[in-house]
Amino acid sequence: MSSSVPSLFQPIRVGTVDLQHRVVMAPVTRHRENKDHVHGELAKTYYTQRSGVPGTLMITEATFIAPQAGGYGNIPGIWSDAQIAAWKSVCVFPRPTRITDAVHANGSYIFLQLWALGRAADPDVLKQEGDFDLVGPSPNPVKYNVPRELTVAEIKEYVQLYSKAASNAIEAGFDGVEIHAANGYILDQFLQTVSNERTDEYGGSVENRVRFPLEVIKAVVETVGVEDGSMGMKDPLPTFTTFVERIRDEHTDLAYLHVIEPRASGDAGIVTLSDENRAQSNEVLRKVWGDRPYIAAGGINRATAIDTVSKYGGLIAFGRHFIANPDLPLRLKEGLPLTHYNRGTFFTPESAAGYIDYPFANNAVIVQAQ
């Protein structure tokens, strides 16, 4: 590869897959599934479109590992036979179409992000979908709803739910799995003192607070193999430094570390870094991780992506821009204008609008599965 080509557009090996560039499709929730958390034909078209540039790594929208781990409507799942079949084979006349196979046919790769909500769930949805309790590491509410503290036995059950979900993902044809441990969901809740006030082996010290997430990683690794596990991150830095050190030392062949940069905050997009956020920079995590694949995400544009990969290596994940630009890696490489995303259609259940109707660089709009 010519040195005149920015590193962002040069090949890299991640786990067991060989990518042709370092532009990753970040996991972005879209709420396009049905009430049973099963994908339909829309999702097949969506993922087919965004895998069209060969050698792209795609990370799916966050996917519930089990019904009791959910609590939002129209989110995909990976626990039932119907859900597994929808990921690998959506039966549509006159022939079955496959999401994972369609991605592979385009020469790209797809990892499934495993998700459990914990105290962040909507208790009304939990009741409607199985009379499940709102749970968390401690009875500390996010707003007004107080979660029930998980028992140790239930924590162990969650570990097995993650393991089974990972096994189901491999059955569905995924190249690997990513464990969602950021953004205030259940694994992050155990890591952080604001949500974890337990006094048993899963609370208190940093070593205790990282225990549950590490048990999940170990179980998933034992299920799918060491080269398929990965992890998302957020602050506070001291806890996550220890967490990443433990992951690095105990699982030497994980595919990558996926880190959300502090300049990005949910739907707020790019924000100005305060002195406190600068002090909490994720650069120390990059150093801890070493020269293994590191995916940075959040508030990054073409110029900063090229600069970051040139200086530090690794990969860059794009979320909102990948929504509106199904051929994003090509547009970034060629310096082509980007279509702006429409926030109003980010979360419109079972709708094609703002999902599969964004144009490609050649102005074509592909809205039907091929």
Q: List, for residues 177-213, the tens digit of each pLDDT value.
A: 999 999 999 999 999 999 999 999 999 999 999 999 9
Q: What is the pTM of this model?
A: 0.90
Residue of 271, 125, 117, 281 lying closest to 195 (CA atoms) = 117
Strand 230-233 relative to strand 256-260, pairing: parallel
Pairwise CA distance, residues 229 & 272, whole Å: 32
Of 40 and 367, the structure prediction assigns the larger pLDDT to 40
Q: Which residues fall within 8 angstroms of residue 297, CB to CB, at 6 or more apart?
A: 24, 26, 258, 259, 260, 261, 264, 316, 317, 318, 319
CB 202 within 8 A of CB 136: no
pLDDT of residue 91: 54
pLDDT band at 224 (very low <50, low <70, confident <90, very high): confident
Q: What is the pLDDT of residues 235-276, one digit of tens each?
A: 566 788 999 999 999 998 899 999 987 764 444 444 444 445
Mean pLDDT of the chain: 89
Q: What residues does each domain of the chain span?
A: 7-345
Of the ranges 77-91, 95-109, 322-336, which is most confident?
A: 322-336
Active-site annotation holder among 158, 185, 202, 341: 185
- Residue 158 falls in the annotated catalytic set: no
How many Å apart are CA 165 and CA 331, to the nearest integer? Answer: 34
Alpha-helical runs (H) found in the chain = 41-50, 81-88, 99-105, 123-130, 152-171, 186-191, 206-209, 211-224, 237-250, 275-279, 283-289, 302-312, 320-324, 328-334
Asked whether the beta carbons of 55 and 97 are under 8 A apart, the reply is no
| pLDDT tops 60 at residue 366 | no
pLDDT digits (tens, 9 = 90+) for 160-170: 999 999 999 99
Residue 370 has pLDDT above 50, yes or no: no
Q: What is the architecture of the domain spanning 7-345?
A: Alpha-Beta Barrel (3.20)
Residue predicted with more confidence, 199 or 278: 199
